[in-house]
Amino acid sequence: MSGAESFVPTPLMLSDGARSRLAALIEELGNPRLKLRVYVTGGGCSGFQYGFDFAEETAEDDTLVEFGAVSLVVDPLSYQYLVGSTVDYEEGLAGARFLVQNPNATTTCGCGASFMV
């Protein structure tokens, strides 16, 4: 009989492309203390929308997810909507942007910036 396996889920993932772009932006800005803040707000065509910002400081109740030299920060309200998601980065005809691939979203808009759970 084998023992139980331990599994610690990662609340958020950061794709290789997003890691590279985030590291490059931090280097360009010359501030290694910067972290990418990912948040969810009400609005958008599907009910909620994603937002991104840089943060130097984290609040006591923020979740900090580290990926080597880069980190994501999520507030407690947004965290519940983002668990299991992957933050990615894409460049295309519409421009360059960070985006969230969220398995919890039941509906998303065409641009991928808003969602419904």
Number of neighbours of residue 36 by Cβ within 10 angstroms: 24
Residue 55 counted as an annotated binding residue: no
Please give the Cα distance from 113 to 11 (Å, whole number): 20
Residue 11 DSSP symbol: S
Give which of 74, 75, 38 is closest to 53, Cα–Cα. Answer: 38
Q: Could you tell me which residues are beta bridge partners of residue 72?
A: 36, 65
Residue 106 counted as an annotated binding residue: no
Residue 46 counted as an annotated binding residue: no
Q: Could you tell me which residues are beta bridge partners of residue 63?
A: 74
Binding site, annotated residues: 45, 109, 111
Binding site, annotated residues for iron-sulfur cluster: 45, 109, 111
